[in-house]
Amino acid sequence: MTDPNQRLFLDVAQSALGRPWRPRLDIAGEQRALAIVQRHGLSDILARVLAGRGIGIDEASAYLDPTLRELMPDPSSLRDMDAAVERLVRAVTQKETVAIFGDYDVDGACSAALLASFLHASGVPHLVRIPDRIFEGYGPNAEAIKELRAAGASLLVTVDCGTTSHEVLAGAKTLGLDVIVLDHHQAPENLPDALVVNPNRQDDLSGLGALCAAGVVFMALVGLNRALRGMGFWTASRPAPDLLQDLDLVALATVADVAPLTGLNRAFVVKGLSVLRARKRRGLAALMDVARLVGPPQAWHLGFLLGPRINAGGRIGDAALGAKLLLTEDPAEAERIAAELDRLNHERRAIELATVEAAQAEADMALGQSGQGAAVVVAGEDWSPGIVGLVASRLKEKFQRPAFAIALNGRTGTGSGRSIAGVDLGSAVRAAVEAGILVKGGGHAMAAGITVSREKLGEFRAFLEDKLATKVAAAREKDALLIDSAVTAAGATRDLVHAVAAAGPFGASAPEPVFVLPRHRITNVMPVGEDHLRVAAQAAGGARLDAMAFRASASGLAEALPALNGGSAHLAVTLSLDHYGGRERVQARILDAARAE
């Protein structure tokens, strides 16, 4: 007997991209959606979207209006937070010089800017150090620590790094530095000699493991602000900073680091987007301008427009540019840095395209005609270490399995990995380090960074095959495109998009709603830009909707859509609002397609 919860949507058993389409809601979910409509008076489509993201009947109202007051836990629930706050209080009240050492990505830049902004408001001298990705690598290093100590720092705070830096942080203690680690990466059982505040410590019971590093830093600042207020530190002439105005940074880091947009994280992003729309942070306002962001910023803008530009500095330019942009209050400097990051981002995209082409060719050869293998591991001599994470992400999308891209330099290689849902890459990397296969490595479930000896590449591939084969097979077996509802071109209106947006923002663990345009005539398939396709979808009644397939070659739609031109097809799309030219209109983004029988 067929499982009623394994129904096909529009009988699509194999789409153009080889996937079955299934309703996101099972039978119990359909009933929950109906109950949400009846209980809360919401539209059917909004109720279906809520139910499809696991929202219960009694939770719908609170979900649609998340409040930090309800969702914000006590910072003291994090292991060692109280001790870290106590040490920070001493630094603030005694005006010690505090060194902030951050990672070179968006989360690291936002985390460093959060802490530096608070220390500035407190009148505390501070230094910000972002390492060079190529010459210094990830995490604190001995030479940088010596320079910070020589510059007068007595307290070192690492943000978005440091959890596995045993030797370097031991050296910092030897130099006379106290050390606080504010991080979120997966942690070994044995921690460095420091005050490590990390919700992913094995002995942390806070339940806040989904936070990015900026979320952890924000929690620390809430605790620090509370402690300073309690001792009367803030006065009329030295007012306490409004931490809610810093949620734009927390939101940006949360989305860019692909943290789950549920619970506290979702509240951070909802409130942070409100702050961002006010354009009070000069650096982000300038970055929105160079990114040609028109209309109110949405969550996807953070991940696809702002985040990549901040990351560009760390990938192929000056790694400190992102943090400098977020901290500057000078409009001219903000415009200059934003323009430089935009230029670097264009340069990064050109390098990325060439590297992706070479990496995909190597992956095709490695997987062979059978396309078998638990993971893709490719390496190249002339690849930039700054873009291997992006290459791994493209390989993951194309081959639908975990992927590592490694830049070789002499006897070692520096690489990044990206995973698929249901396969924990961070734990696999940690196990490879413990087994002596990797020089070093770390990360979380969906992303990881590694350093590997050239002669160990084959052993690393074999290790991943043994460690991940069963999990990858199970994840790929479940790889269906989940559909929220069907809608026609005439029904894909601005009102519909606004109604669905109430359930957002969408991102990791809160997937963007997927709609199907059923049996629409496909016409005017045209290439746009570097690797995109524009399509016109016409319903039986004559209504027409323009749709875009972005990165069509990488997804496989570059071949599928022209083959459907002139015929009838089902298009799986997401819907958004385009504000180009000052006019708001609906735009569809194509995820998949299937010929309509």
Note whether residue 52 is domain-resident. Answer: no
Q: For the domain that residue 585 is a member of, what is the CATH number?
A: 2.40.50.110
Same domain assignment for residues 82 and 16: no
Note whether residue 567 is domain-resident. Answer: yes
Retrieve residue 545's tokens: 């909707």
Same domain assignment for residues 456 and 520: no
Helix, strand, coil % over all residues of the chain, rounded to 5: 45, 20, 35
Note whether residue 325 is domain-resident. Answer: no
| Sign of the four-CA dihedral 218, 219, 225, 228 | negative
Which of 278, 309, 329 is where one domain is finished? Answer: 278
Note whether residue 424 is domain-resident. Answer: yes
Distances 190 to 139, 184, 439, 523, 568 between C-alpha atoms, Å: 17, 15, 18, 60, 60
Residues 6+ apart with CB under 8 A from 130: 101, 102, 103, 104, 108, 109, 112, 314, 319, 320, 322, 323
Element spanning 250, H or E: helix 247-256
| pLDDT of the residue at 3 | 55
DSSP 302: I
| pLDDT of the residue at 332 | 98
- 3-state SS class at 390: helix
336, 317 contact by CB (below 8 A) = no
Same domain assignment for residues 499 and 569: yes
Same domain assignment for residues 126 and 233: yes
Note whether residue 63 is domain-resident. Answer: no
Retrieve residue 27's tokens: 């039978």
Q: For the domain that residue 274 is a member of, what is the CATH number?
A: 3.90.1640.30
| pLDDT of the residue at 135 | 84
Tell me the sheet residues that pair with 547. 535, 588
Same domain assignment for residues 143 and 216: yes
Look up the domain containing 583 and give its range.
8-24+481-595
pTM of the model: 0.90
**Residue 72: Cβ-neighbour burial (10 angstroms; 0-12, 13-18, 19+):** middle
Same domain assignment for residues 15 and 87: no
| pLDDT of the residue at 1 | 39
- 3-state SS class at 68: helix
Q: Which amino acid is at 405?
A: A
- 3-state SS class at 472: helix
Q: How many domains does the chain have?
A: 3
Distances 427 to 79, 103, 146, 277, 392 between C-alpha atoms, Å: 21, 20, 32, 38, 18
Burial 339-355 (b: 16+ CB within 10 A, else e): ebbbebbeebeebbeeb
Same domain assignment for residues 100 and 195: yes
Rounded-to-integer distance, Cα 484 and Cα 514, Å? 5
Rounded-to-integer distance, Cα 230 and Cα 220, Å? 15
> Residue 314: which of 350, 288, 291, 344 has the closest Cα?
344
Same domain assignment for residues 472 and 503: no
Note whether residue 444 is domain-resident. Answer: yes
Q: What is the 3-state secondary structure (H, E, C) of 330-387?
A: CHHHHHHHHHHHHHHHHHHHHHHHHHHHHHHHHHHHHHCCCCCCCCEEEEECCCCHHH
Note whether residue 149 is domain-resident. Answer: yes
Which of 211, 244, 278 is where one domain is finished? Answer: 278
Same domain assignment for residues 526 and 455: no
Q: What dihedral angle (degrees, nearest 10) is formed by the CA atoms of 516, 584, 326, 262?
A: -30
Element spanning 38, H or E: helix 27-40
Which of 278, 304, 331 is where one domain is finished? Answer: 278
Q: For the domain that residue 442 is a member of, what is the CATH number?
A: 3.10.310.30
| pLDDT of the residue at 269 | 97
Same domain assignment for residues 497 and 461: no
Retrieve residue 96's tokens: 């010690």
Cα-trace Rg, the chain: 24
Same domain assignment for residues 138 and 161: yes
- 3-state SS class at 417: strand
Note whether residue 34 is domain-resident. Answer: no
Same domain assignment for residues 567 and 426: no
List the chain pLDDT tens, one digit each, 597 residues: 345 557 999 999 999 998 999 999 999 999 999 999 999 999 999 999 999 999 999 999 999 999 998 999 999 999 999 999 999 999 999 999 999 999 999 999 999 999 999 999 999 999 999 999 878 888 899 999 999 999 999 999 999 999 999 999 999 999 999 999 999 998 989 999 999 999 999 999 999 999 999 999 999 999 999 999 999 999 999 999 999 999 999 999 999 998 999 999 999 999 999 999 999 999 999 999 999 998 899 999 999 999 999 999 988 889 999 999 999 999 999 999 999 999 999 999 899 989 999 999 999 887 765 567 899 999 999 899 889 999 999 999 888 899 999 999 889 999 999 999 889 999 999 999 999 999 989 888 888 999 999 999 999 999 999 999 999 988 887 789 999 999 999 999 999 999 999 999 999 889 999 999 999 999 999 998 878 999 999 999 899 999 999 988 777 898 999 999 999 999 999 999 887 777 889 999 999 999 997
| pLDDT of the residue at 397 | 87
